[in-house]
Structure 1
Amino acid sequence: IRKCVVGCVDPFSKVGGRGLKILREGGVEVTVGVLREACIDLNRKFFCQQVLGRPFITLKWAASADGFIDRKRELDEHKQPIGRPAQLSNSRSLLRVHHLRATHGAILVGRRTFELDLPQLNVRRWPGTSPVKCVLGEVDERALSAGFQAFADIDALLDALRREKIQSLFVEGGSTTLQSFIERDLWDEVWEELSPVTLEEGVPAPTMPREFEPQVEHHFGRTYRHWESPVLQQHYVDF
């Protein structure tokens, strides 16, 4: 072998760059950085854990045409939800949601979303393994018996995922939880599904910083806005 072309270097500290060093010492010409951004993106979940010290974080929500993610709902005296959540996704766009669930190691909702929706958060419409179910805040026995792991705050959650070597987190709601991740710059990818349904009033959808421009896509009879954070690309360093 006279020449070796490398897209990007493994950032794992125990191996990163050592193989290339051996090749170079053996007289092999090594070129690093060919299709660099694409290669980082291909390995982004593992790289995010190694470079940023946290899992790759995807945020997702569906919003009505007038900017709400749900009607305003409450719990009764028995802590049972009153009314049903707004139906903003269709059967085809739910395929994307379940694909995203299947490609992440953990999934998260806030306490209020759990109490109002009692979500399953498993993978049903796509092949794959269901992610570890997590909830933020103090919850009752229903969450624990449904297999949820409860965490006091975002930092406690990320610490636990780091210890368990879970490389990716999918945050599905609600609006307060999603906005908390946005305000702390704890996101790598965001998917917003825009529904033609109008609610007139309700729970406002999260908002993204204006400096980030989304890509607009059309799938399954829905419009999607897709944001990608530059943080991983900025912090990754070639050897």
Structure 2
Amino acid sequence: MTVDDQTHMAHALRLAARGNGTCWPNPSVGCVLVKDGRIVGRGTTQPGGRPHAERVALAEAGAAARGATACVTLEPCAHHGKTSPCAEALVAAGVARVVTAITDPDPRVAGRGHAILRQAGIAVTEGVLADEASEIAAGFLKRVTRGLPFVTLKLATTLDGRIATASGESRWITGPDARRAVHAMRMQHDAVMVGSGTARADDPDLRVRDMGAVRQPVRLVIDSGLTHSAQSRLGTSAHEAPVWLVHGDHAPDEARAAWTARGAKLIPCPSADAHLNLDAALRALAAEGLTRIFCEGGGALAAALIRAGLVDELAVFAAGALIGADGRAALGPLGLQALADAPRLRLLSSRRVGGDTLSRWRF
């Protein structure tokens, strides 16, 4: 590994990060082709997952790819799907060397891509900026290795941890800069998720706004009884951007028919005492291809996900305001009996967003 390897891999990682939220169930990959110290091709996985980053970079480079070094954030694929393997494409293009960050854990690849390259006489260097690449690909990696999506829980609270007044008023606790940042975060995820209580109370739209033409995330409601109305904003716009509802076995047939008629996708899951098995629900969503989910509440769903150990990251927007104990708490009960049982999170970053702050924490 050289300094140049790290520099060009960092470039490829920036490309990969841009694609999160656009190419599920495939990972977002970045590829940079370098020859004689000059970048001759760049690529990212395209929306919908095809074509792969390596093919985009090779197409841009053309004949200049021969003898070049390819820096790729994830091991090139080795299996035949809609196209032939990217490892074979790199061989056919005549690249001299391939530098990768992490091995693809997909059983169809899992070292086979590297093997194809080496068998063709191409020098392979692995593990360059592996930690950074694993962070960007966290959703894909978790889905492949554990059968679950990566879940980011977003909270927008006052300094005393309240999300609304006693009457339920919550618009707006945080300022316009924070709300715009939330839309940017939605854009980086495959789906935006809320619980049925928030859906009924707020009648949210959940689309990305004011970010130009973007691939909209799946708008997802966890609704055991399928109580959210198909006449809601989500229902009336389901033909414009995808809407999925995860519901229990007892959901009424009339509600199922109404949502189906709107074009929504229904995902049945096991339930008991009117509560969904959230682990089973998220596994069903991963099976549908979701790798990164952005949960926007409310408090009951947020607490239930934390109790079940299903939240990976917490993003807290805090406003310089106070509501007091009569306001609504950001989280529902966690059922803790002792302080020692409280989840302890690791601070990733903290920054100012307009008049508010955003802190990111990892479980």
Tell me, in whole angstroms, the C-alpha distance in 1 between the residues paired with 2:288 and 2:351.
34
Letter aligned with residue 118 of structure 2: R
**Residue 170 of structure 2 is aligned with which of 51, 66, 85?**
85
Q: Which moved more, 1:201-210 or 1:16-25?
A: 201-210
Paired residues of 2:279 and 2:310 also in contact (CA < 8 A): no
Residue in 1 aligned with 2:165? 71
Which aligned pairs between 1:195-210 and structure 2 lie closer than 5 A? 195-200=319-324, 201-206=326-331, 209-210=343-344
Secondary structure of 1:142 counterpart: coil
**Residue 169 of structure 1 is aligned with which of 267, 289, 293?**
293
- Structure of higher CA gyration radius: 2
Tell me, in whole angstroms, the C-alpha distance in 1 between the residues paired with 2:127 and 2:295.
32
Q: Which moved more, 1:191-200 or 1:104-113?
A: 104-113
Paired residues of 1:215 and 1:226 also in contact (CA < 8 A): yes
**Residue 187 of structure 1 is aligned with which of 295, 311, 314?**
311
Paired residues of 1:58 and 1:170 also in contact (CA < 8 A): yes
Secondary structure of 1:213 counterpart: strand
Q: Say yes or no: does 1:217 pair with 2:351.
A: yes
Which aligned pairs between 1:21-32 and structure 2 lie closer than 5 A? 21-32=115-126
Q: State the structure with bigger RCO (CA 8 A, min sep 6), 1 or 2.
A: 1
Letter aligned with residue 164 of structure 1: E
Aligned CA distance change for structure 1 residues 13 and 158 (closer, same or farther; 3 Å): same
Paired residues of 1:138 and 1:150 also in contact (CA < 8 A): no
Residue in 2 aligned with 1:138? 225
User: Which sections of structure 1, spanning at least 5 residues, go unmatched?
Assistant: 74-82, 230-239
Q: Which moved more, 1:112-121 or 1:40-49?
A: 40-49
| CA positional deviation for 1:27 | 4.6
Residue in 2 aligned with 1:151? 247
1:87-123 Cα shifts (integer Å, max 9, x gaps): 2121111111111222222221112212221111111
Paired residues of 1:85 and 1:117 also in contact (CA < 8 A): no
Secondary structure of 2:347 counterpart: coil
Letter aligned with residue 6 of structure 1: T
Identical columns (%): 31
Letter aligned with residue 169 of structure 1: I
| CA positional deviation for 1:3 | 4.8
1:107-154 Cα shifts (integer Å, max 9, x gaps): 211122122211111111323233222222324351575335242422
Aligned CA distance change for structure 1 residues 118 and 44 (closer, same or farther; 3 Å): same
| CA positional deviation for 1:183 | 2.3
Paired residues of 1:61 and 1:172 also in contact (CA < 8 A): yes
Secondary structure of 2:176 counterpart: coil
| CA positional deviation for 1:16 | 2.3
Which aligned pairs between 1:50-65 and structure 2 lie closer than 5 A? 50-65=144-159
Aligned CA distance change for structure 1 residues 72 and 139 (closer, same or farther; 3 Å): farther
Tell me, in whole angstroms, the C-alpha distance in 2 between the residues paired with 1:114 and 1:104.
19
Aligned CA distance change for structure 1 residues 194 and 225 (closer, same or farther; 3 Å): same
Letter aligned with residue 190 of structure 1: L
Letter aligned with residue 219 of structure 1: V
Residue in 2 aligned with 1:40? 134
Tell me, in whole angstroms, the C-alpha distance in 1 between the residues paired with 2:226 and 2:165.
22
- TM-score, with length taken from structure 2: 0.55
Secondary structure of 2:113 counterpart: helix
RMSD: 2.4
Tell me, in whole angstroms, the C-alpha distance in 1 between the residues paired with 2:96 and 2:170.
62
